[in-house]
Amino acid sequence: MARIVKLTEVGDSSVLKLVDEPVEEPKEGEVRIRVQAIGLNRAEVLFRQGRYLEKPIFPARIGYEASGVVEALGSAVSEFKVGDKVSTIPSFKMSKYGVYGDQVVVPASSLAHYPDSLTPEEGASIWMQYLTAYGALVEYGNIGPGDYVLITAASSSVGFAAIQICLEKGAIPIASTRGSAKKQTLLDAGAKHVIVTNDEDLVDRVMSITDKKGCRIIFDAIAGDIVNQLAQAAAYQGTIFEYGALSLAATPFPLMLALDKGLTIRGYTLFQITSDPAAKDRGKKYVYEGLKSGKLKPVIDKVFPFDQIAQSQDYMESNQQTGKIIVKV
């Protein structure tokens, strides 16, 4: 039997139910893996609450990221073999293929090898954070030496990934965080500047750092009213990537600033990368090589046991973490 987390309703973390089910056999184009670690994402909290881009179809599975070992192959799968060490790329419907479990079946197209130097916990901390940051900053933003990049909610796993990618590309990462508790951690992670928004004016600090030019690229996970400040902090013809909605509030469009500066305000998710085979291959290559060289290194905050999956999501909702939250299976 396999142990799988299922949802039969939306709600708080108590709706996450650990159930025993017969081990599933992979069909054509699918692979079964024995899960070693699960990486948590904000998307899964929103999915559980019924607030995500994808709505649960009950009884629903849940979970985008896991690392593990290939146990069985469906037909027409040639790029993997039993015993391979792999991790999952978020590119499937969670209701059907969610990876919160100890033995799970996923599409072979959503699997990738990861460097042997990484632990299973690090292997479960790769694709959501790095492909999300890669798509905005490299594929579309084309950051390079000297570019100022403002990263909001920078203590998240995606925020750390964005800092590392900026450094690899020679750009200048400016991290923002609400309180001072995470400031030194962000500086230690490579942020060239940290703006504590509870204590400092975001726009004034950005303009001071950039000699009044503003940031060409802004990578925002918050949305809501902060978009007005981000537009003020943006450079002429800058781009604001909106990849999250932590505020869960209506997001205004700063029309006059957008007209004055020629701004691009773009909704973005990593699915724009994973749904494009060529872009996905470029992203996988960039991330794999960065991990292998050590220029990219997952930051892990806390590890929970599998039977505390609900508590792990509660911890994510507390916003205490700096980096990735992991569940060890």
Sign of CA dihedral 54, 313, 11, 19: positive
Supply the pLDDT for residue 327: 98
Q: Do 120 and 148 lie in a common domain?
A: no
pLDDT at 298: 98
What residues are paired with 35 via a beta bridge?
A: 68
Per the CB < 8 A criterion, the answer to whether 240 and 228 are in contact is no
Residue pair 172/148 in contact (Cβ under 8 Å)? The answer is yes
Give the number of domains in the chain.
2
**First CA to last CA distance, the chain:** 15
Are both 118 and 147 inside the same structural domain?
no
Label residue 254 by pLDDT band (50, 70, 90): very high
211 plus 225 within the same structural domain:
yes
* Domain range enclosing 161: 128-271
Say what percent of the chain tops pLDDT 70. 100
**Burial class of 136 by CB neighbour count within 10 A (0 to 12, 13 to 18, 19+):** buried
- Find the mean pLDDT for residues 117-130: 98
Q: Average pLDDT of 242-262?
A: 95
DSSP helix/strand/coil, 168: helix
Asked if residue 178 belongs to a domain, the reply is: yes
pLDDT at 248 over 90: no
Boundary residue ending a domain (271, 289, 308): 271
Report the chain's mean pLDDT, rounded to a whole number: 97
Residue 151 sits in the same domain as residue 243:
yes
In this structure, the answer to whether residues 151 and 105 fall within a common structural domain is no
Contact between 74 and 28 (Cβ < 8 Å): yes
Same domain, 159 and 48: no
Q: Longest Cα pair distance anywhere in the chain, in angstroms? A: 62
Residues 35 and 60 in one domain: yes
The strand pair at 17-21 and 2-6 is best described as: antiparallel
Let me know whether 205 and 265 are in one domain. yes
Categorize the per-residue pLDDT at 208 as very low, low, confident or very high, splitting at 50, 70 and 90: very high
CATH number, domain of 99, equals 3.90.180.10
Same domain, residue pair 116 and 243: no
Q: From residue 234, give the alpha-carbon distance in Å to each of 130, 140, 202, 227, 263.
A: 23, 16, 11, 10, 8
Q: Is residue 20 part of a domain?
A: yes
Are residues 135 and 72 located together in one domain of the fold?
Answer: no
Does 277 fall in a domain?
Answer: no
The C-alpha angle with vertex 220 and arms to 156 and 11, in degrees rounded to 5, equals 60
270-307: pLDDT as tens digits = 999 999 999 999 999 999 999 999 999 999 999 999 99
Domain-located, residue 211: yes
Rounded CA-CA distance 55/90 in Å is 16
